[in-house]
Structures are given as C-alpha cells and as structure tokens.
A and B are shown apart, each in its own frame.
Chain A
C-alpha cells in the first residue's frame, strides 16, 4: 500500500510532540474510563457536576486537547478520582511503612526493587499515634 506521506510525517515528528500526543491520548482514555465508572458514560451528568454546558464537555472530550492543569483538577474533583499523578524520586525508589507495636511504633524505610521490598533502616519511636501508610 502506498502510504509514503504517513511514514514521512510520523518519522519527522519531534519526540516531544509525539510524547505530548501520547500523553493527551492517555489522559483522554482515563477521563472516558472515569466517565463510564462515575457517570455511567453520560456527559450530561458530568456537565451538571462541573456546572458547564453539555456542549463544553463534549468539546473537551472529543479530541486531543491542551488540557490545562486547572481543567484536569476540575475534572478530578468532579470525578472524585485521580487522573494524573506527579512522580517524585522518593515515590519511585523508596517508601516507608509504620507498624504499630505493643509499646510504640516501628518506622521502617524500605526500597522496592525487582527482588521485592528491601529494608534500609528501622527506627523505633515510643507510642504516639497509630498510622499505617501503604506503599
């Protein structure tokens, strides 16, 4: 099949633009997923929740957009569920768990790698509050 222009355009696309398109597509997919999950796929219900017209919501969901962070936050609030997340170095390489013990709390710093969870350090605090943070 003769599709010379297609191949040329795709190959010439700057990496950052391609990543932007890919990101926008993933955001759109997530928004539609949440729309199905939270509003039974009905844009009208989302529009009501956001105080916007159905046409505005339809436009928002019908193509690759330059979603502003503000718009994404409004959508997250309307869905009461996350759409995007920010990565931090701490999130990606390590986390910690706090475990309630009889007389206090044990704070373990751990890394999550291919071989599973590895403990880096353990500190013991006298009992104050009980909190467990799941990685």
Chain B
C-alpha cells in the first residue's frame, strides 16, 4: 500500500501545518473521505472536532488536545464526552498523527462501536492505517530521513506500508 502525503493548504498557517494522505490511487485523500461522511447522530462531536482543528491553526496542536488510543500515536481529536444510551456507540473518532505542536496528519475515522478499536468493524481499518503510517513516520524520524523542524517537511513524501 502506497501512502502519499498532501498538505492541507486551507488549514495550514505559519504556526501549524496540517497534512493528510492519499492511499494508492484513491481519488480522494483520507481526510476528504472522512469529511464526506454523514454522522447525523454525532453532529455535536463533529462540530467540536472541526472547531478544535480550526482553533489549533492559531493556537498550535498541543498534545493536550489529542487523546491517545492504543500504543502508537494514532489518536482521535478532542471529543466531548457524550454519554450514549447505546453500549455499542463509543462516539466519533477521527484518527490522526500529531508529530509536533506544529505538525499534524489528519486521517480517516468513523463511529466506534467497540471499546477496542481493532475489534470495531467501523474504525478498525482507519485505526490500523493510522498505526502503520505512524510507525513508518517514527522510523523515518529516527533514521533522520525526515526533519520535522523545517516547514513542508512532509510535502510530497511517499511511503510504502
């Protein structure tokens, strides 16, 4: 599977760069696919997530704004804790990789139906992809193949996972 990184120019500021990825020859990027989904019962969460992303463009992507899920740095953006009566609804997840206060990769997500994301048919593929991409990036950072301190550090980057 080939993953190519694309900067989200609409979101990126001098302060924070937002990226997303295109998998293989998909017509849409992962974040565009997420944005195209409808979550009528989770509008409030989506509203919080999107506003948080918008606020981060000016305030920075502080680690406090992300919740870690699983062992890697794949995580849903801030969500308001909304109690659902249905025990198979754990809320909306948008998986992303926060590399620094100034660098975030937004991926895809869905409504989580099991506590363990790997066991949830909805989010499992997105969670697994996030994990694999994060692992590949961590390796490249460790081997100094990419430097996060410079602007446009992920622009046009392509990796195989």
Contacts from B to A (Cβ < 8 Å): 6, 8-10, 20, 28-29, 31-32, 35-36, 46-48, 50-55, 59, 62-65, 67-68, 78-81
State whether B8 touches A1 (Cβ < 8 A). yes
State whether B36 touches A5 (Cβ < 8 A). yes
Bound complex: CA A63 to CA B63 (Å)? 11
Digitize A31-51: 1 where CB-to-B-CB distance is under 8 Å, 0 elsewhere: 110000000000000000000
Which residue in A2, A13, A21, A29 is a CB contact (below 8 Å) of B28?
Answer: A2
Q: How many residues of A contact B (CB 8 A)?
A: 27
Which residue in B29, B78, B81 is a CB contact (below 8 Å) of A59?
Answer: B81
Residue with the greatest number of chain B CB neighbours at <10 A, chosen from A6, A10, A26, A61: A6
**Can you list 16 A-B contacts (CB < 8 A)?**
A1-B31, A2-B32, A3-B8, A6-B53, A9-B51, A13-B50, A22-B55, A22-B59, A28-B65, A28-B78, A29-B65, A32-B64, A63-B78, A63-B79, A64-B52, A66-B80
Chain A binding surface, main DSSP class: helix
Bound complex: CA A65 to CA B67 (Å)? 12
User: Residue of A at shortest CB range from B7?
Assistant: A1
User: Residue of A at shortest CB range from B91?
Assistant: A63
Q: Which of A56-70 contact B (CB under 8 A)?
A: 59, 61-66
Cβ–Cβ < 8 Å partners of A32 in chain B: 62-64
User: Residue of A at shortest CB range from B39?
Assistant: A5
Bound complex: CA A17 to CA B50 (Å)? 12
Contacts from A to B (Cβ < 8 Å): 1-7, 9-10, 13, 17-18, 21-22, 25-26, 28-29, 31-32, 59, 61-66
State whether B51 touches A1 (Cβ < 8 A). no
Asked, given contacts A6-B50, A17-B47, A25-B55, whether A63 binds B81 with beta carbons under 8 Å apart, the answer is yes
User: Residue of A at shortest CB range from B43?
Assistant: A9
